[in-house]
Amino acid sequence: MSTSSCKHNCKYCGKEYTRKSAHSRHVILCEIFYKNNTQTRREKDCEEEETTSIPSTKQLYNIIQELAMRYQTMEEKMNDMQKWVEKKKRKLNVIQWLNTTQEPNINIQNWIQSIQVNEDHVEVLIEHNMCKTISAILNKKLITAQDKTYIHPLYTVTQKANLFYCYVSEEEKWKHFSTEDFITMLKKIHGKILTALCDWRDKNIDRINQSDKMQILYNKTMIKLMSANFTQESQILSKIKGEIYNYLKVDLTNRIEYDFEF
């Protein structure tokens, strides 16, 4: 192919260009120059009529200033969106995060062992049921440690409903607090309630022996206690887990900026 076949000619002045991009830029200006020199008086008058609404220099400045502000706002939004996209790509392993940031004041074993059941809780059992009683016991235990520096050995997050983590003593680290672990905790609390009920009976033994009503009340309360069913499908387990979860749950998005791995 000859060199001349690669040339690009300006249709207004005939100037030749090898590069099409340079030719295109030249044509834009040459066309304006050509029109200004070849327009008839009538054509110039018509063009002047059509361009009377062209903004002044001050108006153009204001327009450019407004566009610059809009561009800056759009750029900031795009940067925020880009940061959000990058954060969404990162993952956070919740257990690893707990191990590096949350060190409880007590491990889960000692925390459960320190749960206290007293005569007030026995009265709750007499008036209500096992679910209410255990909830009252656990709520009192949780509320007792409301100091901001206190970290519970149980942890839940809003990003995963009814999933529990616990701080264990053997390795001094966090792990999942399974349904089986939860059942074990409830059984230990059940044993504490039984002890408290027996103490209540010993304290009121004369009244119980002298009153049929007191005898019936004690028997009914004992039946409530001994008929409690702690299985994975039991209603009492589901309800108590839900109450504790709602009390402890933490929204991690208010603390960290990651996706989560459970």
The reply to whether 140 falls in a domain is yes
Whether 4 shows a pLDDT value over 60: the answer reads: no
Domain count, the chain: 2
48 and 153, same structural domain?
A: no
167-214: per-residue pLDDT in tens?
A: 997 677 999 999 999 999 999 999 999 999 999 999 999 999 999 999
Give start and end residues of each alpha helix (H) in 2-56: 20-38, 41-50
13-55: per-residue pLDDT in tens?
A: 888 888 888 888 788 777 777 776 665 666 666 666 665 556 6
Q: What is the pLDDT of residue 251?
A: 86
The reply to whether 150 falls in a domain is yes
Give the pair of three-digit tokens for residue 78: 């795009």
pLDDT band at 2 (very low <50, low <70, confident <90, very high): very low
Q: What is the pLDDT of residue 238?
A: 92
- Tell me which residue range forms the domain holding 30: 1-54
The reply to whether 65 falls in a domain is no
**What is the percent of the chain with per-residue pLDDT over 90, rounded to a whole number?**
43
Q: What is the pLDDT of residue 36?
A: 65
Let me know if 234 is exposed, middle or buried by CB neighbors in 10 A (0-12, 13-18, 19+).
middle
117 and 9, same structural domain?
A: no
